[in-house]
Structure 1
Amino acid sequence: MAYNYVVTAQKPTSVTHSLVGNFTHDNELNLIVAKCTRIEIHMLTPDGLQPMHDVPVYGRIAVMKLYRPAGEKRQLLYVATERLMFCVLAYDQTSGAIATRAMGDLSNTIGRPCEHGLIGEVDPECRLIGSQAYDGLFKVVPMDRAGQLREAFDVRLEELNVVDVKFMHGCATPTICVLYEDTKEARHVKTYEVDVKEKTLRDGPWSQSDVEGGSSLIIPVPAPLGGAIVVGESVIVYLNKDGGNGAGGAIATKSVNVMAHGVVDADGSRYLLSDSTGMLHLLVLVHDRRRVHALKLESLGQTSIASTLSYLDNGVVYVGSAYGDSQLVRLHAQPVRCAADQVPATPDGLTYVECLESFTNLGPIVDFAVVDLDRHGQGQVVTCSGVNKDGSLRVVRNGVGIHERAAIELPGVKGCWSLRRGDASTHPSDTHLVVSFAGETRILAIDDDDELAECEFRGFSANEQTLCVCNVDGGFVVQCVASGVRLVNAADGEPRATWSPPGGATVSVASANRTQALVATTGGSLYSLALGSAALIRETASASLDGKEIACLDCTPLSDPGDAAARLCAVGTWTAEVFLLTMPDLRLVTTSPLGGGGGGVIPRAVLLCSFEGTPHLLAGLGDGALHTFGVDPEAGTLRDGKSLSLGTQPITLRTFRSKGATHVFAGSDRPTVIYGNNGKLIYSNVNLREVLHACPFNCDAFPDSLALASESDLTIGGIDDIQKLHIRTVPLGEQPRRIAHQPETRTYAALTENFDENGYFVRLFDDVTFETLCKFRLEPDEQDSSVISCAFADDPRVYYVVGTGYSLPEEPEPTRGRILVFRAEDGKLQLVAEKEVKGAVYNLNAFNGKLLAGINSKVELFRGGDPVGADGAGGSTYELAKECSHHGHIVALYVAVRGEFIVVGDLMKSVSLLAYKPEESVIEERARDYNANWMTAVDILDDDTYLGAENNFNLFTLRRQSDAATDEERSRLEVVGEYHVGEFVNRFRRGSLVMRLPDQENADVPTLLFGTVSGVIGVLATLPREQFEFLSALQAALNKTVSGVGGLSHDAWRSFQNEHRHRAKDGARGFVDGDLIESFLDLRPEKAREVAAAVKLSVDELTRRVEDLQRLTH
């Protein structure tokens, strides 16, 4: 049985609802945003949006409304979920928390759910809340004058096919406006008054028959005008009882599919409309405050395709999107020049819309690839995201983000150090940057324009390569070069003292701190120097390590953040050893080999540092390996030696401070930040390709920055959170549908749809730069549906294989498709094989040197044939030959393979297990799940356990009963796990977002990643039974301690539910909710103690375990 842990690595990013109002304070304006299962609350400030709360909700948010009953200082938030639970939330200013005012259930035991989902509205006068969840029924929740909710009741609604319902403004009796479709598919508008006392509906003040057939939206108009706007595809009409036969004004539009709307003015004079192309329109009601005379519609400019619009203030609008990035835009009264990627609103290329800020949205993720480009054990995820023009590839990587603040082209850097002009103890900020090259040293400073410029520093040796620079106590600076050591005045650069190695030797490596320097010369001599006292350099000791050449050394004090003098120093030698000596007398304390003694790789950097107060010694080798040791500073001994590979090039090491803690920047071809957490060393990749040297550079212009040198340039960058997901966007301007990676050619192949060109394409990308290398257009009516990279048996070359289907209007499902085999060479796609098939190729898998395809209702196996051509050279083509197939599916949408096993996820018939018999060339069914699940993704956890996702946002696991007693039991897949993830999962992929370290607990735990429509990247880890049982107990303890927002139940939320089954009381089984587990880290101390006591652990130990699991998964 599989024991699974499900956790969110990336929270939902698709915006479904947004509101503006006074929720947290009566004088503060809030923007409230719903993202599927989370509510974000922001405050509007002069500097922009300030995040206040990010609240998880145990449900998918279907309705979100603000309202203010009489007597309330602030507005209340009404939230209803897709499972028909609702709550009323208020902001508690005393505690700064979200409080629950009321909760309830909108569901009925009978009734047919509406196809459009839940509609929920609050009466503008706060007299009742109305909802429609079932055809023919309208549920009413009355409110008294104080806003208290009373007992709900249902009223019968004659119209069965309701499109939209809204409450009208300015009515003495609560009045709803209903847009509906009759049996002849004509659409009409009717109003009803809600009689709360009689619990019934009465005919309202007006109605309108035969509105435009594409009408889909009602916008109620505030008093004093009242009435409603009905928005159709080609006509927008204003309706009111005083408008003459119901119509008060109408305007014809071009065919516009309105996706979202927002109110601009409190009196309802202006409205924003956004269409399916992302064009923003302004709808104006021309009126005299009593009567609407005309409607005007003006195009303003292009934004992301909106799912919600909220007018904030002063012409600023929040554009929430489920199809692309959400935006903060400003509306201009006069047109401005259009951005290059925008569609102009005027013929002369102008727009009224300016984008102020974008908010990243990964949704909808329809496919993704997990790629370990650096072969580091840590994957980066490349997603197919967005819709239509907002389509893009998103590169998601876990690690440290460096934000460039300044950069100059500066090739050949051999080292860099920050420097403070004057006394370092009284100057908190760095002023200069010392950059070393072969044969010279340059000094850079920040000029009046906050730019790096070269300057002079008198007293420094400029025509030698600097080996080390450091501020010294007393207002001095030490510079170590090949000829010796210089001490200069930090204020004016006046030379104060020099030291040269005896016998004309050359200094090869050096290190320094606030009072000491440690230098080594060619031949293996080591010298300890005292600095600064009476402006002198005093040699305190010398030593030789048996004549061994010294490769690197360090004398950083072993304290956090650092004393003035070191008591220990570390030395790495060309014999691949590290020595620990005392300072300042250079007495040998201990030694340790690095990777095999004299035959090992030479160390290039050693560093003494303390993480969380625990001393460590780090040694970076020339092959990218890093050795770490614990240090006992009293005994001078090394312990707990470990080794791991950070890259393939020599490592440099430098400490820096971030958020009050010591971190180490390990520079190489795969730069890494090292820090301590709960007694363990954590390694986070940096979002840069290469950093050879680094140093902290905390100047006034660029506070808390790092100077980072690569082979070609020097960058000043700010450091982001040490561990988080970083997202890079590759705009496509068309919608990506599938993606595959080919390591051998360092490329991606993505299948895209271009709505403007009305065509489907195969696009080849460079896997580093994401430059489009070439584009292959499919035939008319041919849609791409699958792509993989694979090799065929007895053929050393790799291919991209694309599956397609022809979508014809007269066919209910494709009857024809193609399998296309491409070879990627020199940035081009060469078509080498083409196979016509009878249906759409929904999926492809490499299968034991052959090709397995899901084609309509069949699973078919193909083998690569002999090359057609004289010599099988580049001009030859391949033949694909069908070997065998398996029938019996509705549509074989999803297929996963492992060994000889094939797992099929069907459109309607859940999951079936097939097996391939190579000796007989047949595929036969072994077992199936007889539940009716509409599948969205499948995968294989192990030989006997299979994972599925279905369209009601559930995950489930199935087990093959190979040891069952009867054939009937063996032919049935047993459901062993069920979990409501609350997300529409489109794809599972094997891989991890974090680096796995050899000494990490549960480092061998297998993980799957999944991507969803709302932009979630989730992680599913299969755990040992003992750990799963512990986490289940912790989950139960948290459930008793942590209350869900709005009083919603966690067990009910995570219980499996679809049209056929509902186990709200059972909760999940076979799964643990990692999001709930990680919420322990955010508990107040008293709550944390309560939970820890329930699982019989200390708070510290429980925190350590949860953080370890967090690092293991994301």
Structure 2
Amino acid sequence: MYHYVVNVHKSSTVSSAVKGHWSSPTETNLLINKVNRIDVYTLVEGGLRYFMEIPINGRIAGMHFYRGPVLFTERLDYVVMSWCAKRKRILTEEQGTLKHDTYKFYPNRELLHLTIIDPYYRVVGMHVYSGILADGIKNISVKAYPLYTKEIGNEIWSLDDLDESTQIIRAVPSGGFLLVSARRISLYDEDHGSRWLIGNGFGTLQLLVLPKDEPMYTYISVPTSILYLDNGIVFIGSHFGDSQIIKLRSEPNEQGFYLDEVERFSNLAPIHDFCVLKTERPGQSQVITCSGGLRDGTLRIIRNGVGITVHGETRMTGLTGIWALRPSYDSEYDDILIISFINETRIMKLIDDEFHEVDNYADIDKSHETLATCNVAGNLIVTRNSIRLIDMKTKKLCSKWNITKNNTITVADVSCLTIHPSDPSNPEKSIFAVVGLWSDKLINVLNLPSLTIIQMQKLFNTSVPRSVMLETFEGILYLLIGFGDGQVDFFILNQVNANISGPHRTFTIGNQQVILCSFKANGIKYVFAASDKPAIIYSKNYQLLCSNVNTKNVTYVRSFKTPAMPSSLIIIHNTGFKISSIDDIHKLHITSIPLNEMPRRICHQESSNMLAISTIKSVFDELKNCEIHLCYFKILDDQTFE
């Protein structure tokens, strides 16, 4: 037996961050150290834009910026990099090792790696070996040494008997330095004004204005890195919670904070414990982790699937169909919803990002159930007693066909039917159609416009086909068939002669009928498989894949494209419909349950559907003038987490 181990989620903790001109001399970039890689963002108006990822073969111990990033690893290797905008690639300017034959290096020991670069870029200082500098003083002290080319000179200044909790020393640009301890911030030497952002283990961000001694307080994630970018924009990197992009304010907001959160980056670290919860769908278990530390502790629900973000919801009963229409065939965006019920049709128009019901629109028959409607050269409306062709520019009826007396139209296709453009450059023309038949359980490929049968494909599924679709993924034309038992079959079609070829494969979506709908998100094609347990079908590396959706009992789906939400979907349930958008397909989806305490252990009892967790809460005792820890044991419901 062999085991294949691979990461499904990249490291999300932030150790440090720097800024500089990396992608362009005119652009400011944020480079975030995430242990074994660097994420690069470009500072734009209102936030950040992702630029690239730099993988590192090692664990980054220190990172600085000098024309490009200067990296030091825990094994004492270093590299200096630059970016070639013309060739779109990273160049290695210098690399080497800091290991020395004279001193022994212990890579596994708890050694604090400290690095610093001279502001004038003359020298780099690193703390990687112990015992090189002799110091007989046992108390914590600060000393200053002159730097020469290859050696350190004699001590020229010292400050002894400091607070034992002193951990941070920072140079003041105008002269002097700050010493930061758990209870005190000390300024030495020059008396010039400057501003400092200081974060602590309780998630408090303080704006310290020198020489003024009344700092402004606000709350952030517990920081491991604070980097001022520009125009009041600050990056807060965190190991214990989510990293943030914040914008400082001179006056408090409605919550009383002196900042507004611009963007948040999810972080799973540090994971103290986890448990696995089984779900209704086989092979789709979810993991609940004890993540974070100090006041940023959370439970994180991790699952593999597609997240749905709901932007609006309308409750309606008796809904039998819904369609989105553009104001004209050539329009890019939709603005009309045709909503069908058993005995009537309602029309909703999008006005200023809100839906308003209209009494009359383009001579649409509202007194009967609508079976189908779509944008063609005109607009086609099919009801139970007529078929209407409407000019959407003039909103007038072009042609109408009425059913004979005592008859009604019951369906708008033959079990299931689809037409797909044979040439993507000419979307108005197709040379074939595909029809699914109930009685014979066949798929017929028909020639257009003669409707002669080109090919017949026998279906081996015991259920009947409910939906068929032709869709092109990565240059390959697929035939997808949704069945009444929750399965989806797919074949490969030749785009010239429509011959069915390639291997036949099956996805099991749910237990009820599957209705297929194609849509685009961020310029990429997807197919939504609506069922009791819906999924999204997509292509990656020329293979069709299927991802679960975090919603249930979807009747069918329509694409609804607006300027504000170009990738939105209308998701129809038995109780109404939701205007939604999908999250990134190719990633784990994480839901956060804030605890404001650090979770340490978790276990799950399946019989009672309960979770048991133990937590630690850190508080500052004003009377004892020290930090104390309170321990709790909690029982939570595994669905509501209450």
TM-score (norm 1): 0.53
In 1: Cα distance, 2:613 partner to 2:576 partner: 32
1:603 to 465, 486, 493: 465
Supply the AA of the counterpart residue of 2:135: E
- What are the within-5 Å matches in structure 2 for residues 70-81 of structure 1? 75-81=67-73
* CA offsets 1:77-115 (integer angstroms, 9 cap, x no match): 321111111122233344343332222212234346584
Q: Does 1:235 align with 2:184?
A: yes
**Which protein is richer in helix relative to its size?**
1
Is the alpha carbon distance of 1:663 and 1:96 closer, same or farther for their aligned partners in structure 2, counting shifts above 3 Å?
Answer: closer
- What are the within-5 Å matches in structure 2 for residues 996-1035 of structure 1? none
- The answer for the alignment partner of 2:490 in structure 1 is 628
- The answer for the alignment partner of 1:413 in structure 2 is 319
- What are the within-5 Å matches in structure 2 for residues 670-709 of structure 1? 670-709=533-572
Supply the AA of the counterpart residue of 2:195: R
**Rg bigger for which structure?**
1
Q: Does 1:43 align with 2:42?
A: yes
CA contact (8 A) 1:553 1:571 kept: yes
Q: Does 1:482 align with 2:384?
A: yes
In 2: Cα distance, 1:439 partner to 1:159 partner: 91
Q: Does 1:491 align with 2:483?
A: no
* Greater mean alpha carbon deviation, residues 323-332 or residues 681-690: 681-690
- What are the within-5 Å matches in structure 2 for residues 280-679 of structure 1? 280-286=205-211, 296-338=213-255, 350-422=256-328, 424=329, 426-447=330-351, 449-455=352-358, 456-473=360-377, 476-500=378-402, 504-511=406-413, 520=414, 552-557=415-420, 559=422, 561=424, 562-565=427-430, 567-573=432-438, 578-581=443-446, 584=449, 587=452, 590=456, 592-596=458-462, 601-631=463-493, 634=497, 640-658=503-521, 662-679=525-542
Runs of 5+ consecutive residues of structure 1 not aligned to the other structure:
68-74, 138-156, 161-181, 249-266, 287-294, 339-349, 512-519, 521-551, 773-1114
- The answer for the alignment partner of 1:215 in structure 2 is 166
Q: Does 1:159 align with 2:135?
A: yes
In 2: Cα distance, 1:567 partner to 1:215 partner: 76
* CA offsets 1:721-740 (integer angstroms, 9 cap, x no match): 44333322222222222334
In 1: Cα distance, 2:281 partner to 2:295 partner: 34
SS in 1 for 2:126: strand
Is the alpha carbon distance of 1:391 and 1:574 closer, same or farther for their aligned partners in structure 2, counting shifts above 3 Å?
Answer: farther
SS in 2 for 1:758: strand
CA contact (8 A) 1:572 1:605 kept: no
Supply the AA of the counterpart residue of 2:126: S
- The answer for the alignment partner of 1:124 in structure 2 is 119
Supply the AA of the counterpart residue of 1:11: K
In 2: Cα distance, 1:554 partner to 1:86 partner: 62
Is the alpha carbon distance of 1:743 and 1:641 closer, same or farther for their aligned partners in structure 2, counting shifts above 3 Å?
Answer: farther
In 1: Cα distance, 2:44 partner to 2:473 partner: 38
In 2: Cα distance, 1:470 partner to 1:502 partner: 24
- The answer for the alignment partner of 1:1093 in structure 2 is none
Percent identity of paired positions between Structure 1 and Structure 2? 33
- The answer for the alignment partner of 1:1046 in structure 2 is none
Supply the AA of the counterpart residue of 1:760: Y
Is the alpha carbon distance of 1:45 and 1:655 closer, same or farther for their aligned partners in structure 2, counting shifts above 3 Å?
Answer: closer
Is the alpha carbon distance of 1:590 and 1:334 closer, same or farther for their aligned partners in structure 2, counting shifts above 3 Å?
Answer: closer
Is the alpha carbon distance of 1:411 and 1:107 closer, same or farther for their aligned partners in structure 2, counting shifts above 3 Å?
Answer: farther
- The answer for the alignment partner of 1:712 in structure 2 is 575
* Residue 676 of structure 1: how far off its partner (Å): 3.7
- The answer for the alignment partner of 2:12 in structure 1 is 13
* Residue 428 of structure 1: how far off its partner (Å): 2.7
Is the alpha carbon distance of 1:469 and 1:195 closer, same or farther for their aligned partners in structure 2, counting shifts above 3 Å?
Answer: same
- The answer for the alignment partner of 2:622 in structure 1 is none
In 2: Cα distance, 1:750 partner to 1:484 partner: 63
TM-score (norm 2): 0.88
CA contact (8 A) 2:371 2:384 kept: yes
* CA offsets 1:278-297 (integer angstroms, 9 cap, x no match): 111123332xxxxxxxx625
CA RMSD in angstroms, aligned pairs only = 3.0
* Greater mean alpha carbon deviation, residues 454-463 or residues 270-279: 454-463
Supply the AA of the counterpart residue of 2:73: T
In 1: Cα distance, 2:573 partner to 2:558 partner: 12
CA contact (8 A) 1:191 1:203 kept: yes
* Residue 510 of structure 1: how far off its partner (Å): 1.3
In 2: Cα distance, 1:688 partner to 1:720 partner: 13
SS in 1 for 2:510: coil
In 1: Cα distance, 2:197 partner to 2:77 partner: 31
- The answer for the alignment partner of 1:58 in structure 2 is 57
SS in 1 for 2:7: strand
- What are the within-5 Å matches in structure 2 for residues 721-732 of structure 1? 721-732=584-595
* Residue 16 of structure 1: how far off its partner (Å): 0.7
SS in 2 for 1:389: helix
* CA offsets 1:547-574 (integer angstroms, 9 cap, x no match): xxxxx22132363644435533313316
In 2: Cα distance, 1:44 partner to 1:752 partner: 38
SS in 1 for 2:250: strand
Is the alpha carbon distance of 1:616 and 1:88 closer, same or farther for their aligned partners in structure 2, counting shifts above 3 Å?
Answer: closer
SS in 2 for 1:159: coil
SS in 2 for 1:203: coil
Runs of 5+ consecutive residues of structure 2 not aligned to the other structure:
620-628
Is the alpha carbon distance of 1:582 and 1:24 closer, same or farther for their aligned partners in structure 2, counting shifts above 3 Å?
Answer: closer
Supply the AA of the counterpart residue of 2:356: A
Is the alpha carbon distance of 1:393 and 1:463 closer, same or farther for their aligned partners in structure 2, counting shifts above 3 Å?
Answer: farther
* CA offsets 1:816-851 (integer angstroms, 9 cap, x no match): xxxxxxxxxxxxxxxxxxxxxxxxxxxxxxxxxxxx
CA contact (8 A) 1:329 1:355 kept: yes
- The answer for the alignment partner of 1:251 in structure 2 is none
2:91 to 94, 99, 122: 99
Q: Does 1:190 align with 2:93?
A: no
2:131 to 132, 136, 146: 136
Is the alpha carbon distance of 1:31 and 1:631 closer, same or farther for their aligned partners in structure 2, counting shifts above 3 Å?
Answer: closer
- What are the within-5 Å matches in structure 2 for residues 894-973 of structure 1? none
Supply the AA of the counterpart residue of 1:125: Y
Supply the AA of the counterpart residue of 1:451: E
In 2: Cα distance, 1:221 partner to 1:93 partner: 35
SS in 1 for 2:554: coil
In 2: Cα distance, 1:494 partner to 1:21 partner: 60
Counting matched residue pairs gives: 625
- The answer for the alignment partner of 2:624 in structure 1 is none
In 2: Cα distance, 1:612 partner to 1:117 partner: 49
* Residue 479 of structure 1: how far off its partner (Å): 1.6
CA contact (8 A) 1:737 1:752 kept: yes
CA contact (8 A) 1:557 1:563 kept: no
* Residue 48 of structure 1: how far off its partner (Å): 1.6
* CA offsets 1:211-267 (integer angstroms, 9 cap, x no match): 1122122112223x2x32222222322334xx8xxxx9xxxxxxxxxxxxxxxxxx7
CA contact (8 A) 1:281 1:297 kept: no
CA contact (8 A) 2:35 2:60 kept: yes
